[in-house]
Amino acid sequence: MDNLLGLLRIRVKRGVNLAVRDVRSSDPYVVVKMGKQKLKTRVIRKDVNPEWNEDLTLSVADPNLPIKLTVYDHDTFTKDDKMGDAEIDIKPFAEVLRMKLDNLPSGTILTRIQPSRSNCLAEESCVIWNDEKVMQDMCLRLRNVECGEVEIQLGWIALPGSRCI
C-alpha cells in the first residue's frame, strides 16, 4: 500500500423512491465497489425510502478508478434482486484536494459539478470546504431501473505519510 493516497469516506445517507422488488416493498441495501474493494450497508426491511446513514471507507490509490454503487433487494430464499446502480467519478473531488485550502471560511464552495449524460447526478453537486474538511453531497439517479435515487456524502481522510493526490 505504498501508493495509498488516503481514505474516502462515503456516507450512504438514504434511498428515495426505490423500486419495489417484493410484493409491496423492498428490503434494500447498498454495495459500493472500487477496484477489488467491496463494502455494503445493512439491509433495511420493507422500505423503498430507507435511511442508512452508514459510513463506508475505501482506500484510494488511484482517483481515476470509478466507484460503482449498486442497490439490491435482500431475499431470503432466492438471489437478491438488483434495484439499480450508479457510478461515482471522484476526479473533481480529488482535484480539489490538490488546492491550497488554508484559511478558507467554512461553507466555501470549491467547485460545482452539473448533472450530465456522463455522470449519475440527479442535481448539481458542490464540493465544499466545511470545518477544515473537503466534503461533497451527491444525489445519484440510479440506472438500469424504473426509479430511485441514493443520497451520499463524500469525505476525505488524509493519512500521515501518504503521498499527495
Are 60 and 5 in contact by the 8 Å Cβ rule? The answer is yes
- Whether residue 163 has pLDDT greater than 70: no
Q: Which of 101, 96, 137 has its CA nearest to residue 9?
A: 137
Residue 146: C-alpha distances to residues 18, 25, 44, 140, 142 (Å) = 9, 14, 20, 14, 9
Quote the pLDDT of residue 22: 83
Cα(53)–Cα(153) distance, integer angstroms: 10
Quote the pLDDT of residue 132: 86
Quote the pLDDT of residue 2: 58
C-alpha cell at 94: 480529488
The 10s digit of each residue's pLDDT in 95-153 is 998 888 878 899 999 999 999 988 999 999 999 999 889 999 999 999 999 999 999 99
CA atoms within 13 A on the CB side of 27: 11
The 10s digit of each residue's pLDDT in 33-90 is 999 999 999 999 999 999 999 999 999 999 999 999 999 999 989 999 999 999 999 9
